[in-house]
Chains A and B, each alone.
Chain A
C-alpha cells in the first residue's frame, strides 16, 4: 500500500517555550554536560551572556513540546507502532540564553516510500522574540512495512 502523501507541506500552529535556567541545568546534567556556561550564571555573565546558555541539543526540549503532538495528526497518518526515529539534523545560528522565549514552527517537508518503508520528514524552525531564526531542524521518521 503506498504512503499517503497528501500532508506534504502541511503546517501546524506554532508553539512558544520560555527557556528556564533550572531546566537547562536539569537537561545539561542528564546528558553529562559540565561546561559552566550551562550551569553557572556568573560564568555565563563573565562570557557576555545575560544568563546561562543552553547546550545546542537542548533544542529538542522546546521543539518536541510543539512538534510531538503533530506526529499524531490523522492526515499525516503515521503508524506509530511501527515507527522509528531514523535521522536527525540541527543547524544552530547562536546559543540560546535562559529567559528567552522561543517560538517553533512545524511543517511536513516530505513523505515518500523507499524499500518498503515510509519516510516522514518534518522540518522545524525555531525563532527568537525578534523573529530571527535560532535553530532549524529536520526530523526523519521511518515506518516499516507500509
Chain B
C-alpha cells in the first residue's frame, strides 16, 4: 500500500528531454522564452533554459496521484518553487504520508534534481479507504 501513515510513498523518477519545455509550452500555453530560448535565458542572467515550475509541480502531482490510486482521490496540493530545474537531468519526487485522519491522508513531498530541492514544502491531501 502506497499511502500509509508514517511510511514513504513510491518514488517517481523522470528525466525531461531537451525539447520537453517546448512541448510543455505548447500544451500549457506558457510561452515565457526563459523556458525555450537559450539566448534569451542567458541574456536575463539564467545559466540556461529552465523547466517550467508548473511542469515540475505536475510531476509532484503525478507522484501523489499514482500513490493515491488515481485522480478521483486527489483533493489538494500546495507547493513552493525554489531553485531551478533543468532539462536532461533526472528529477526524483519522494514523499512521506504524515497522517491519515477521517479518510484523508496528508502527504509531504519534495522534487529534487542534483541534490537541489526544486519543489519543496509540498503538501498533498488525498482521500483513502
- A positions within 8 Å CB-CB of B: 23, 26-27, 29-33, 35, 37-38, 53, 55-57, 60-61, 64-65, 68, 81, 84-92, 94-95, 138
Q: How many A-B residue pairs have CB under 8 A?
A: 89
Question: How close is A1's CB to chain B, nearest CB, in angstroms?
Answer: 22
Task: Sample 21 A-B pairs with CB under 8 A, ordered by A number.
Answer: A29-B27, A30-B20, A30-B24, A30-B55, A31-B24, A31-B58, A31-B62, A33-B62, A35-B70, A55-B58, A55-B71, A56-B74, A56-B77, A86-B80, A87-B78, A87-B79, A89-B76, A89-B78, A90-B76, A91-B75, A92-B75
- The minimal Cβ–Cβ distance linking A34 to chain B, given in whole angstroms, is 9
> B48-86 interface mask toward A, CB cutoff 8 Å, 1 = contact, 0 = none?
000001110111011001000011101111111100000
Residues of A contacting B59 with CB < 8 Å? 31-32
Question: Which residues on A sit within 8 Å (CB–CB) of B77?
Answer: 56, 89-90
Find out whether the CB atom of B28 lies under 8 angstroms from the CB atom of A60. Answer: yes
Chain A nearest CB from B44 CB (Å) reads 8
Docked pose: A38 CA to B72 CA in angstroms: 12
Q: Are A87 and B74 in contact (CB under 8 A)?
A: no
Closest B residue to A64 by CB, please name it.
Answer: B29
In the complex, which of the residues A57, A89, A91 has the most CB atoms of chain B within 10 Å of its own CB atom?
A57
Say whether A35 contacts B71, CB under 8 Å.
yes
Q: How far is the CA of A91 from the CA of B104 in the complex (A)?
A: 14
Chain B residues within an 8 Å CB radius of A85:
53-54, 81
A33 to B71, CA, bound (A): 11
User: With A31-B55, A87-B81, A88-B57 as given contacts, are A64 and B74 in contact (CB-CB < 8 Å)?
Assistant: no
Q: How far is the CA of A64 from the CA of B25 in the complex (A)?
A: 12
A88, B20: Cβ atoms closer than 8 Å: no
Residues on the B chain within 8 Å of A56, using CB? 61, 65, 71, 74, 77
Point out which of B24, B54, B70 has the most chain A C-beta atoms below 10 A from its C-beta.
Answer: B54
A65 to B28, CA, bound (A): 9
Q: Of all chain B residues, which has the CB nearest A49? A: B72
Contact of A90 with B78 at beta-carbon distance under 8 Å, contacts A31-B58, A60-B28 already known: yes
**What residues on A are CB-neighbors of B55 within 8 Å?**
30-31
Which A residue sits closest to B61, measured CB to CB?
Answer: A57
Contact A53 B27 (CB under 8 A): no
Distance (whole angstroms) from the CB of B33 to the closest CB of chain A:
13
